[in-house]
Structure 1
Amino acid sequence: MRLHVGCAMWTHARWQGRFLPGQLPPGERLRSYATWCDAVEGNTTFYATPTRATVESWAGQTAPDFRMVVKLPKPITHEHRLTGADEHLHAFLDAIEPLGPRAHALWIQLPGSFSPADLGTLSAFLHRLPRSHRYAVEVRHRAFFEDERSERLLERVLAAADAEWVPFDTTTLFQSPPTSDAERDAWTKKPRVPRRTRALTGHPIVRYLGRDAEARTVEGWRPWLDVVTDWLREGRSPTFFVHTPDNADAPKLARDFHEAVRARLPALTPLPEPEPADPLTLF
């Protein structure tokens, strides 16, 4: 029984010396992060397709069962809107090949303007993709969350391709006005959609956004403890990503979520002990 947890990135200035060694070179930070969490969002690939050498470095720093949910590049999803982007897609698929099983799912994050009227385009795109990968789709148009017919149509499109629907749960953030600069920034950028908890496949993926205050983040994820526990009992293998507006404590919070689920399911495989942020000394 395995629950994978992680963050939106594997390096952050405020993690240095706290979760990761302070003087760690960039090329070793994923390895250190992977002792804290066993999954990560591959957000950087949205902005640029990495070189194979870079991806080989990612693979060399992680175990084969480490999960990377890798985002398709912006030219494919936002500029070409899933049509006429074969050159970008082939370059991306070639670049990430060294990840092997670490590429847990390829993440298709669609713009907020991608509506139910575009579902034919999504269906055609999903059916052109190679079956060697698992796929997960994130939509942001409110009709998919508020109109039952649109929701069911999207579920049918995804089910036909054995693809998952990735919810981005921002409800905790928007429960009350922001109290920090990071929260104010998140208010202007993050989607404001209802919470969704239905899994379509055996590998559900959740993106959860809390608040900068730890207590409010923990309070906000309580509904997910029930959902994730039920998924595990059903034999599913979920991945849960913890975000906060400043992400300062995200690795610890991800582990805390895992421990909260494990308190309900003692048979859940524990996370390994993280390596210390700084070398231990005798004096």
Structure 2
Amino acid sequence: MRLHVGCAMWTHARWPGRFVPEQLPPGERLRSYATLCDAVEGNTTFYATPTRSTVESWARQTAPGFRFVVKLPKAVTHERRLTGTEEDLRSFLDAIEPLGPRCHALWVQLPGSFGPGDLGVLAAFLRRLPRSYRFAVEVRHRAFFEEERSERLLERVLAAVDAEWVPFDTTAFFRERPTSDAERDAWAKKPRVPRRTRALTAHPIVRYLGRDAEAATVEGWRPWVDTVTDWLREGRSPTFFLHTPDNADAPGLARAFHDAVRARLPALAPLPEPEPITPMTLF
């Protein structure tokens, strides 16, 4: 029984000295992060396909059981909207191939304008993806959350290829007005859709956005502790990604979420032991 938890990135300006050692070289940062969390969102691949050598470095720094949920490039999902993408997709899949079993899922994040009328395009695209990968789809069009027919049609498309629906739960974040610059920035950018807790596959993936205040973040994730506990009891293997607007405390919060679930399920496999953080010395 295993719950994977992680963050939106593996390096952050406010983590050294708190969660990871100071002055780590770039080639060691993912390795250090992997002693805190056992999953990470592959958001950087949305903006540019990495070189194969870069991905080989990612693989060297992580154990085979580490989970990358790798976002497809925006040229595929947002610019070409899943059509005429063969060359871009081929280059992307070749680049990430060194991850091997660490590539937990290909993450198809779709723009808010991608609605029920586009489901035929999504179905055709998913059928073309190689079956050696799992697929996870994130939609942001409100019709999929508010119209039962649209929800069921999307679920049917995903079920045909055993793909998961990735919820991005921002309900706790939008409960109160922003109080910091980071929260104000997220307020303008993050999607406002209802919370969805229905898993379609044995490997559900959750993205949760809390607040910069720890207490509000913890209060907001309480329904997910219940849901994730139920999934584990059903024999599912979930992945939970913890976001806050500034992400300054994200690794610690991700581990705290894992602790909250493990308090319900003591048989749950523990997270890795964090790498010791030794203070800097003059000699």
TM-score, structure 1 length as denominator?
A: 0.98
Q: Does 1:76 align with 2:76?
A: yes
- Which whole-Å CA distance do the structure 2 matches of 1:119 and 1:27 have between them? 40
Using the TM superposition, give the Cα deviation of residue 273 of structure 1 relative to its aligned residue in structure 2, in angstroms: 1.2
- Which whole-Å CA distance do the structure 2 matches of 1:194 and 1:54 have between them? 37
Q: Does 1:277 align with 2:277?
A: yes
CA shift digits 1:226-264 (9 cap, x unpaired): 000000000000000000000000000000000000000
CA shift digits 1:147-206 (9 cap, x unpaired): 000000000000001000000000011001001110000000000000000000000000
Q: Which position in structure 2 is the counterpart of 1:34?
A: 34
1:99-138 → structure 2 map (5 Å cutoff): 99-138=99-138
Using the TM superposition, give the Cα deviation of residue 277 of structure 1 relative to its aligned residue in structure 2, in angstroms: 2.6
State the SS of the aligned residue for 1:106. strand
State the SS of the aligned residue for 1:15. coil
- Which whole-Å CA distance do the structure 2 matches of 1:245 and 1:33 have between them? 19
Q: Which position in structure 1 is the counterpart of 2:170?
A: 170
CA shift digits 1:69-107 (9 cap, x unpaired): 000000000000000011000000000000000000010
- Which whole-Å CA distance do the structure 2 matches of 1:13 and 1:198 have between them? 35
Q: Which position in structure 2 is the counterpart of 1:61?
A: 61
The alignment's C-alpha RMSD in Å is: 1.1
Q: Which amino acid aligns with 1:157?
A: V
Q: Does 1:185 align with 2:190?
A: no
Q: Are the aligned partners of 2:9 and 2:43 in contact in 1 as well (CA < 8 Å)?
A: yes
State the SS of the aligned residue for 1:31. helix
Using the TM superposition, give the Cα deviation of residue 280 of structure 1 relative to its aligned residue in structure 2, in angstroms: 9.0
Q: Are the aligned partners of 2:106 and 2:133 in contact in 1 as well (CA < 8 Å)?
A: yes
Question: How high is the sequence identity, in percent, across the aligned residues?
Answer: 84
The 1:280–1:234 alpha-carbon spacing in structure 2 relative to 1, beyond 3 Å, is: farther
Using the TM superposition, give the Cα deviation of residue 279 of structure 1 relative to its aligned residue in structure 2, in angstroms: 5.7
Q: Which position in structure 1 is the counterpart of 2:262?
A: 262
State the SS of the aligned residue for 2:105. strand
Using the TM superposition, give the Cα deviation of residue 27 of structure 1 relative to its aligned residue in structure 2, in angstroms: 1.2
State the SS of the aligned residue for 1:236. coil
- Which whole-Å CA distance do the structure 2 matches of 1:75 and 1:85 have between them? 8
Q: Which position in structure 2 is the counterpart of 1:45?
A: 45
Number of equivalenced pairs? 282
TM-score, structure 2 length as denominator?
A: 0.98
1:183-222 → structure 2 map (5 Å cutoff): 183-222=183-222
Q: Which amino acid aligns with 2:183?
A: E
Q: Are the aligned partners of 2:38 and 2:272 in contact in 1 as well (CA < 8 Å)?
A: no
Name stretches of at least 5 consecutive residues in structure 2 with no aligned partner: none
Name stretches of at least 5 consecutive residues in structure 1 with no aligned partner: none
Q: Which position in structure 2 is the counterpart of 1:147?
A: 147
Q: Which amino acid aligns with 1:71?
A: K
Using the TM superposition, give the Cα deviation of residue 26 of structure 1 relative to its aligned residue in structure 2, in angstroms: 1.1
- Which whole-Å CA distance do the structure 1 matches of 2:105 and 2:175 have between them? 30
CA shift digits 1:101-122 (9 cap, x unpaired): 0000010000000000000000
- Which whole-Å CA distance do the structure 2 matches of 1:255 and 1:173 have between them? 20
Q: Which amino acid aligns with 1:124?
A: A
